[in-house]
Structure 1
């Protein structure tokens, strides 16, 4: 879950990173820059986040129709992971 949150946070931050890198390059080449367009950068980050969420909803395999097998305590006190198994056709 943390990996997903970090990825989504990086998508929101991407427009800001690109803007500030471009601004630094432009200033080094002598071009005068105006104010930072924070509203546009937030909107671009929100758009990337929305596209990511829609892509997840469209392409992520769901487990509806599968049977959940819960984790069990095995020998030595270890716990096996729970998992999904496909249901047998009726």
Structure 2
């Protein structure tokens, strides 16, 4: 879950990072950049987030039709993470 959150955070931050890096490069080369286009940056971040929501099911392993076994705690305190069991034929 953390991996998915971090991927989406990077995708949302990408338009902002690209803009500010490019703006700084342009300023060092003598260009006047004007104001930051916040609406366009937020819209681009929203598009990146929406694309990540649409594309996630294509690359996410859903267990291949197997049966989900939820996580459980054993008597010795160890935690067995949730997993998928393959269906028997």
Quote the RMSD (CA, aligned, Å): 2.0
Unaligned runs of 5+ in 2: none
TM-superposition CA deviations, 1:38-77 (whole Å, max 9, x none):
1111111111111111110233232373223343525x44
Give the TM-score, by structure 1 length: 0.80
Unaligned runs of 5+ in 1: none
Give the TM-score, by structure 2 length: 0.81
Rg comparison, structure with higher value? 1
**1:1-90 → structure 2 map (5 Å cutoff):** 1-63=1-63, 65-70=65-70, 71=72, 73=74, 76-89=76-89
Question: How many residues are treated as equivalent by the alignment?
Answer: 88
